[in-house]
Structure 1
């Protein structure tokens, strides 16, 4: 009984240590990539869930439960999840793409991009990157919701930023003033 308790405490300690280490690493990465807090929190939660499942499986195996029983349970769980997720495959691929975009996507919120798509002009400024989709605001005011899995599948061009300020010259330097002056005699 004490051996089981010690093994359980060891795995809880490993989980807490690894979770803190991963959380700090993700926070530093998010800060360097200027990712929003909300998106960082979602990615951290998904990685924590995955870590919990891995540590839980290792804990069950180390307690001496037979491998056949553990593998039967895990395969049953995956079979049920597989049947449930096959109908929602696009959701699963969008979640996976959302996590990948967090780590490897070279564009940030505020960048002007153009997605190479022959059917539609998908270009504008990235307004938000969430776990399922990217919001792109076009210059005509229309917001496009573009799925994450398509962002990874299609080519994306980074466009130069549009000039938002118009340079106005003072009236005295205006060339129109020279043409409109009236000469008096």
Structure 2
């Protein structure tokens, strides 16, 4: 009689464990089938360039893994509504944080482009043009850091002051350069 009680106590956890194992196996199998299917279709028909196929495979793999994770959590008793609320809340906070630091990230990325592409160098004289015929910010480049490019002012009043120009402006406006 005790054996039946013990079996009944372990029955539900064993069923849930078997279901989770089945979900994981099916997710692995689905991922393999999708990846091989895309590879074979591409080999046979050359549908898409390789630059698109690799991210497509990765996206489909993550969709399958994410779906399997949602199903596993659902089998463990976590409500899908709670998961959806947590996911959308996290996405909203991430979006707000991304927009809050957008200008900082933009200037840092533009600094990386200035360092790697070298549109101008320290010692060059540059001018940011507002329009085709309108004079803009002009000066000799004294330094470039992650956020600003420092120019020695050569504007109309030629005050000799220092201008700190956000790096992103060098990719938003026309730049005239003298070496």
TM-score by length of structure 2 reads 0.43
The structure number with the bigger radius of gyration is: 2
